[in-house]
Structure 1
Amino acid sequence: MAEEKPAKLQRFKVANARRLRNNATDAEARLWRHLWKIPIEGTHFRRQVPIGRYFADFACHQIGLII
């Protein structure tokens, strides 16, 4: 039973992140269009990233940046 909890929690986080991405505000959508196009080699921005109990709107793990 203890093994089920992390999997359930992960599914919940993924579902929440998808919901947040699908219901982005106008400002988030506009910023994402710019971040997505940034041609910096080796970087990759992600949207609605679960970090602990919270969700970062945008994150780039390679450079340690969270927006």
Structure 2
Amino acid sequence: MSEPQFRRPTVRAQQLRRDMNEIELLLWQQLRGRRLDGLKFSRQMPVGPYICDFMCRTIGLVVELDGGQHGEAATYDAARTRFIESEGFRVLRFWNNEVLENLEGVLSRIVETARTMPTPQPPPASGRGGVQP
């Protein structure tokens, strides 16, 4: 019996986390553990049928890395970005060579973008809609 449809993206994301390429690993070393401006990033996160390379859920930012194969898949990538954005995320895309040749510039752009995004609202302190006794 096959797995339920809703579990497939999660299983694929787990596989992608194990099999990250060298460019993804290079950027992940800078993003993990809140190393970049205190932002908490996760890697290979499902959004609908797609899996995003890196995601900061608290502000709704997705960072995607594109290799040479993505140049041939511009229509697919555009549809993918539209879907992810329709789910409330902002998508930043970088070419692999940008990460290799200008890592500091990539990190700066991520921080600049994050700082322009709306601050998420914290949950109510009491757990009862903010009404204090």
- TM-score using structure 1 length: 0.76
Residue aligning to 1:65:
61
| Deviation (angstroms), 1:10 | 3.1
Residue aligning to 2:51:
55
Of 10, 16, 21 in structure 1, the residue corresponding to residue 6 of structure 2 is 10
After the TM superposition, which segments of 4 or more aligned residues of structure 1 sit over 6 Å from their partners?
none
Q: Choose between structure 1 and 2: higher helix proportion.
A: 2
CA deviations on 1:12-57 (whole Å, 9 max, x unpaired) are 22210011111111000110010014151xx421110000111100
Amino acid at match of 2:21: T
Residue aligning to 1:24:
20
Alpha-carbon RMSD across the aligned residues, in angstroms, is 1.6
- TM-score using structure 2 length: 0.41
Gaps of 5+ in 1: 1-6
Aligned residue pairs total: 59
Alignment of 1:29-48 (within 5 A): 29-37=25-33, 38=35, 40=38, 43-48=39-44
RCO higher in structure (CA 8 A, sep ≥6): 1
Gaps of 5+ in 2: 64-133
Identity %: 34
Structure 2 CA distance, aligned partners of 1:58 and 1:9? 23
Residue 25 of structure 2 aligns to a residue whose secondary structure is helix
- From the CA coordinates, give the structure whose radius of gyration is larger: 2
Amino acid at match of 1:64: G
